[in-house]
Amino acid sequence: MRRNQGHIGGFTLPAFLILLVASFAPTPSTAKESLRDLADKQGILFGAAAGTAFFGRDSTVFKANLEKEFNALVAEYQMKFGQLQPTRGDFNWAAGDRMLAFADTNRMKLRGHCLVWHKEAAWLETTTFTKEEMFAILKEHILTVVGRYKGRIPQWDVVNEAISNNPDSTYRDTFLFRRMGNEFIDSCFRWARQADPDVQLFYNDYWNEGLGPKSDKVYNLLKGLKDRGVPVDGVGLQCHFRYDSLPSFADMDTNIKRLAQLGLKVAFTEVDYRILLPATPEALEKQKEDYQGTLQVCLANPNCKTFVIWGVTDAYSWIPASYPGWGAGLLLDSAYAPKPAYDGIWTGLGGVSDGILVPGTPLRGARPFFPGWFGTGSWDALGRALGRR
């Protein structure tokens, strides 16, 4: 039976409800669940990269936002080869151990990044080692690092960016490839598995997010690894893009599904979408759609359970130094205020504010603020029915 929605005290009933809700509801800052709360409900690792700001003078504010909004963190540079082993046989655990302690204290996960990369390894590159010595050095490094954090780090990027951007070649022309050949990739994964039988092992790269020549080469690399029985568990899609030049979400979805057919997990590992400065409202809105759409592609695929933003705040981002004139690529601005992109991720994760469905939010079991007044269903902030269950 329909209820009478006539006037009450000069207000239509939906408007009356809005005022009543507004008078008792908490402020938006307390009503909203954090991104971390929503990610926990989705059952995904939702992380951010942490670099110099984690250890610097702004670390208290930085860490407070990191812990509030994310359930995982990644060392931006501090756990790469040259940082952990600055000279041969001399390991520096200080930064990695501090990050792991922070993660443990705040019930977060530390994602390992990365064991082998052609950058951040100056002494290895500049010293003339034989092929046999190179293999021995990498083996010792991987066994030592993965072994130290065995059982405490759930995922490692084992090999980073080994595939060429050149359509005429498969492997990137690096000192690693020139001295050891492509077989070093197989060995690195086998050593990592030897050090920790339970950790998830990933190959990580960029321009492999959608469909195209490099994505195909990465797919073929992974298929070959699987065919040879190499213990690779997943692939990382970095997702460093201009806000207006992403692959289509359909291509991302197709790519993730073909990787699933190989039995591989997928992780979005370094997501940021840079904007030409100064950022316009239109660009920020497009960036919001980029973030929300990418996240929803991940959530739509059962083999995608990791989504990492490459930073916490625009105040500390690699983008301006690497792409002069560009920036504003993250979810929080330089003053730690949420941007439209934050709202896109919040909505993508199913954000509902204190029982009131935020306009545009997917229906995830939302209920009316006052059950029984209009029956069982979901309603937006204007009192309009959005659907029934």
Catalytic residue among 270, 282, 285, 289: 270
Strands in 222-312 per DSSP E: 234-237, 240-242, 265-276, 304-309
Within 13 A of 211's CA, how many CA atoms are on the CB side?
10
Contacts of 58 (CB under 8 A, 6+ apart): 315, 316
Tokens of 286: 């497009």
Contacts of 242 (CB under 8 A, 6+ apart): 273, 274, 275, 326
Question: How many whole angstroms separate alpha carbon 304 and alpha carbon 295?
Answer: 10
Q: Closest Cα partner for 215 from 178, 273, 164?
A: 164
Question: How many whole angstroms separate alpha carbon 96 and alpha carbon 119?
Answer: 18
Our answer to whether residue 183 is catalytic in this structure is: no
Question: How many whole angstroms separate alpha carbon 38 and alpha carbon 46?
Answer: 9
Question: How many whole angstroms separate alpha carbon 256 and alpha carbon 16?
Answer: 47
Q: Closest Cα partner for 198 from 236, 154, 241?
A: 154
Q: Closest Cα partner for 238 from 275, 207, 200?
A: 207
Tokens of 261: 């057919």
Catalytic residue among 133, 161, 183, 209: 161
Look up tokens 């490094």; give the residue.
141
DSSP state of 149: T
Longest dimension (CA), the chain: 87
SS3 301: coil
Q: How many CB atoms are closer than 10 A to CB 260?
A: 15
Pairing of strands 385-387, 240-242: unpaired
- Helix (H) or strand (E) holding 240, with range, is strand 240-242
Question: How many whole angstroms separate alpha carbon 374 and alpha carbon 368?
Answer: 8
Our answer to whether residue 33 is catalytic in this structure is: no
Active site residues: 161, 270
